[in-house]
Structure 1
Amino acid sequence: MPIPIYDPLHAPGGALKRLPLLKAAVLFIATVCLCLCGLLYLQLEQSRRHDLELAEAASSNLTRAMAQQAEDTFMKADLVLTSLADWIQVEGFGPTQLARLQKTFARRVLTLDQLHGIFLFDKQGQWVITSYSDLPRGLGVSDREYFKFHQQNVSSLAHIGPAIRSRENGDWIIPVSKRVNDKNGNFQGVLMAGIKMSYFDQFFKSFSIDGNGSMFLALTDGTLLARRPFVESQIGTSLAQGTIFQKHLPSARSGNAMIGSVVDGTVRLYGYRQLDAYPLVVSAASSRDAILKSWYATAFQSSVIVAMVVLGVGLFGWVFIHQVRDGERIEADLRKAQEALELIATHDSLTGLANRRLFERALEIEFGRGARQSSPLSLVMLDIDFFKRYNDTYGHVAGDHCLAEVAKALKSCCHRKSDLAVRYGGEEFAVLLPDTDIHGALAIAEQVRRAVMDKNITHSGSPTGYVTVSLGCYSFVPTGRDDIEVFIQRADAALYQAKHSGRNRSAVLSLEGGVEALMRSDR
């Protein structure tokens, strides 16, 4: 028994009914997996933010303590220098004052643990008095940054310079200096107190931070003064291009930021604060890995559990989807076949242009739209001149090629998506032009006529020697009570007049005062 063409068990409707089930299954499985992953993400993100907030609070407290300590350290040195500078400006530092000043310098150094020494230099940068019993030998300090600063600036405020090695004993110090003037305000020298680098190193070590954490003290221009961990080669380097100095300090004098270090590249949570009294910045940082160490462990355990659940749901879903996958293939094949049939039903197979069925459907739509919007609708009908002679001379294969070339020329002149090029029948074509008046239609017709001539298709049976077309144009504004056949007949009448008037031209049919007027556009 032959297999029937229509099989109820394999009907198109059966495949189409299975498709929503497949989509629903996929959607359900994906939703369950996404919900599980979403809940995991929300829980982990909340936990991570909590850990970071605790770290930010601790970092802010630490930088506040560092800033207070640094400010106290430099303020004490500043007060010592201020009292000594006032005394020297009044009493001078002549030979009778040297012994007394040296003892005073030494006593002041003993009272402050942070001081490495106190030094007085004349206006040439030579040592005059120090808190040490013996004056150092050498070329002096005229090359030092702090000495040049006071030579060039009359300010009496304390100046904090980049860290240097003391020429007294080679220790790293941070110079705090003041300008010394005579009674008339003229530059007489520089008074400098050196703050021990080791003092800040010990201070930094008193705080508990992780092994990859860091702390630093820097000038507001980014020059590094002290750092934990201490790396001698990094002292004096610039942090000015770092994110803290480039982005955060200009907008806020204190805060927190998760950034990578410009010194060693480690990502840390930095708390930073700029001192109020001095041009200094302090910062304390804990590495991101140390802050989130416990969070990473929790995240791993939770992720493994959720991954196992998602895997189980996924396996179940795969088995279920596999059962309906054949139905999806059938539906896809049917859809492709339907699209192919639609193309065959609405387009001409030889030229690829729309056929009369699609043309009639488009006319109904455009008549209704034109009536609603009161917009003009134009139609151009065209016919290949002496096409029967062409077929008789060159054969039907060449005739089909000629039709295809004319269709290409016609299609190239339809620039808008709404323009519809149609093979109306045989060697006759049409172009439907929505929102186009008679002048626009005539312009398109002339473009088509010239485009066909530019193909230079040889035609010995034509007076021109080449294939040409004749075109008729008609345009009107639909009212909702119009007849499609009349619309086509009027465009066809214009085409007839173009052929009757000698071919290879465009003719326009317009209705004025109830009388048909013919206009031709010759070559």
Structure 2
Amino acid sequence: MPIPIHDPHQAPGGALKRLPLRKAAAWFIVAVGLCLLGLLYLQLEQSRRQDLAVAQVASSNLTRAMAQQAEDTFLAADLVMTSLVDWIQNDGYGAAQRPRLQQTFARRVQQLNQLHGIFLFDTQGQWVITSFTDLPRGNGVADREYFKYHQQNASTLAHIGPAIRSRENGEWIIPISKRVNDRAGRFQGVLLSGIKMSYFDHFFESFSLDDNGIMFIGFTNGTLLARRPFDESLIGTSLAQGQIYRELLPEASAGTAMINSVVDGVERLYGYRRLASYPLVVAAATSKDTILEGWYARAVQSSVIVALVTLGVGLFGWVFIHQVRDGERIEKNLRKAQQALEQIATHDSLTGLANRRLFERSLEIEFARGARQVSPVSLIMLDIDFFKRYNDAYGHVAGDHCLTQVAQVLMTCCQRKADLAVRYGGEEFAVLLPNTDINGALAIAGQIRRSVIDKHITHSGSPTGYLTVSLGCYSFIPSGNDSPEVFIQRADAALYQAKNAGRNRAAVFSPESDVAELMRSDR
């Protein structure tokens, strides 16, 4: 019997059907590879963006902390000089006053770590009194920028000048100065406080930056004031042509941007912020390579994983879980750091109370809520009676402890979560009371006043022999177009009414009071 050409039990074209299956498998492997490459690309791009976003948040928080520190540093010196200028303008700086002034200068320098020294110059720029024991010798400071500025400008505001070398000992300092007038307003000299450049160097060193990272403080006109790493040749140079000054600051007073440095050409992520009280700008930058250093490592690792995925899905899954765990831990640590920086930016470091930045933000929120709900908002402004006498009698360390005790009283008396206790400035505090009328505010004010008395803090400069506070209360129902400044001014006016009435009491704002006269009274 002839052998059939085709097996009747074999489907015709079987060999032809196996070929497309092999191609399908090959195409499937190629497709899986392409999908893995696509997923790898998406993962790496997302990771890169996340690293950059985290770095932007950290950079923004860092510059916020730098700005707060710089403001506090210069403000402390400014306040010291303001009190000294008032003293000198009232009593002069004749031979009889000089020994006491010299001792006061020296004591103030000891109390503020940032101060190199305090110097008083006459109308010719010659040294009159310094915080040092011996007066320097030389031709004086008539050629200095700050001296010429005050000669030519009648402004009594503090002036921050370019960094200079002290003619006392050659140390780099940042001069902050004020004009001294006689009783008729004529120029009588210059009072200068020198801020140590090394003080900012130590502050900069407290932050962890890579080898290519930088931090600097400069004037708003671009002149470099202080820098990390310190380079003497760069101090005083202009950064005005840099992108921060040329493009970013005119648009926003704070922000972040990836920029090529005009100094060394390194690409860095910059965070920058203009100070609110002084003509200064702070910035911190981390090199892009450092920010993405971990990302580069993850990219290589993920690529190896994709190459080996065909050898074991289990190994790939384990590495992926490991990567996720690392990312969660990093994110958790960054979140804690962000919360810590937020606490620094919104609270007073001495008392733990809210600072003015948080106070102003809360005012906006409570004004809007009060307008929506037609509910009153109250404010208590309080001031420690005869606090300058307290500092003079017991010293600034005891004064700081006194401020802390008063702050504890405020926190104890503010029972509701919405109530906000604020250190408004110096020895002045504020309490914001949402949904509280004037009677409720007076009740809280009375509780605060009695609680301070119950502390039995000895105060030899007070008529009562103990520390007391004066309080001013104001309450109103917001309408939606209200001015926070007027709100604060009226509570402050009530505070002056309380002081004018004899202190150690609470007063309610009265428009008929002669506020101008009260503000001239001794606080």
CA-atom RMSD in angstroms:
2.6
State the alpha-carbon separation in 1 of the partners of residues 28 and 182 from structure 2: 89
Which residue does 2:300 correspond to in 1? 300
Counterpart residue identity of residue 52, structure 1:
L
Which residue does 2:51 correspond to in 1? 51
1:41 offset after TM fit, Å? 2.9
Which residue does 1:246 correspond to in 2? 246
- For the pair shown, which has the larger CA radius of gyration, 1 or 2? 1
Which residue does 1:130 correspond to in 2? 130
Instruction: State the secondary structure of the residue aligned to 1:95.
Output: coil
State the alpha-carbon separation in 1 of the partners of residues 240 and 40 from structure 2: 40
State the alpha-carbon separation in 2 of the partners of residues 163 and 212 from structure 1: 24
**In the TM superposition, what are the counterparts of 1:316-465 in structure 2 within 5 Å?**
none
1:475-519: CA deviation from partner (whole Å, max 9, x where unpaired): xxxxxxxxxxxxxxxxxxxxxxxxxxxxxxxxxxxxxxxxxxxxx
1:157 offset after TM fit, Å? 0.5
Which residue does 1:14 correspond to in 2? none
Counterpart residue identity of residue 89, structure 1:
Q
State the alpha-carbon separation in 2 of the partners of residues 303 and 181 from structure 1: 72
1:39 offset after TM fit, Å? 3.7
Instruction: State the secondary structure of the residue aligned to 1:117.
Output: strand
1:223-247: CA deviation from partner (whole Å, max 9, x where unpaired): 1111111111111111111111111
1:190 maps onto 2:190 in alignment: yes
Counterpart residue identity of residue 218, structure 2:
A
Gaps of 5+ in 2: 1-26, 310-523
**Which segment drifts farther, 286-295 or 159-168?**
286-295
Which residue does 1:503 correspond to in 2? none
State the alpha-carbon separation in 2 of the partners of residues 102 and 268 from structure 1: 47
Instruction: State the secondary structure of the residue aligned to 1:125.
Output: coil
State the alpha-carbon separation in 2 of the partners of residues 247 and 298 from structure 1: 34
In percent, how many aligned pairs have the same letter? Answer: 73
Which residue does 1:435 correspond to in 2? none
State the alpha-carbon separation in 2 of the partners of residues 223 and 34 from structure 1: 53
Which residue does 2:158 correspond to in 1? 158
Which residue does 1:221 correspond to in 2? 221
1:139 offset after TM fit, Å? 1.0
State the alpha-carbon separation in 1 of the partners of residues 190 and 111 from structure 2: 22
Which residue does 2:397 correspond to in 1? none
**In the TM superposition, what are the counterparts of 1:73-92 in structure 2 within 5 Å?**
73-92=73-92
Which residue does 2:177 correspond to in 1? 177
Instruction: State the secondary structure of the residue aligned to 2:193.
Output: strand
State the alpha-carbon separation in 2 of the partners of residues 30 and 254 from structure 1: 49
1:17-41: CA deviation from partner (whole Å, max 9, x where unpaired): xxxxxxxxxx999999876654433
Q: TM-score, normalised by structure 1?
A: 0.52
**Which segment drifts farther, 220-229 or 164-173?**
220-229
Which residue does 2:142 correspond to in 1? 142
State the alpha-carbon separation in 2 of the partners of residues 143 and 61 from structure 1: 40
1:285 offset after TM fit, Å? 1.4
1:211 maps onto 2:211 in alignment: yes
1:71 maps onto 2:59 in alignment: no
1:122 offset after TM fit, Å? 1.0
1:358-408: CA deviation from partner (whole Å, max 9, x where unpaired): xxxxxxxxxxxxxxxxxxxxxxxxxxxxxxxxxxxxxxxxxxxxxxxxxxx
**Which segment drifts farther, 36-45 or 204-213?**
36-45
CA change 1:135–1:44 in 2 (3 A) is: same
CA change 1:30–1:205 in 2 (3 A) is: same
Q: TM-score, normalised by structure 2?
A: 0.52
Gaps of 5+ in 1: 1-26, 310-523
Which residue does 1:230 correspond to in 2? 230
1:42 offset after TM fit, Å? 2.2
State the alpha-carbon separation in 2 of the partners of residues 124 and 251 from structure 1: 42
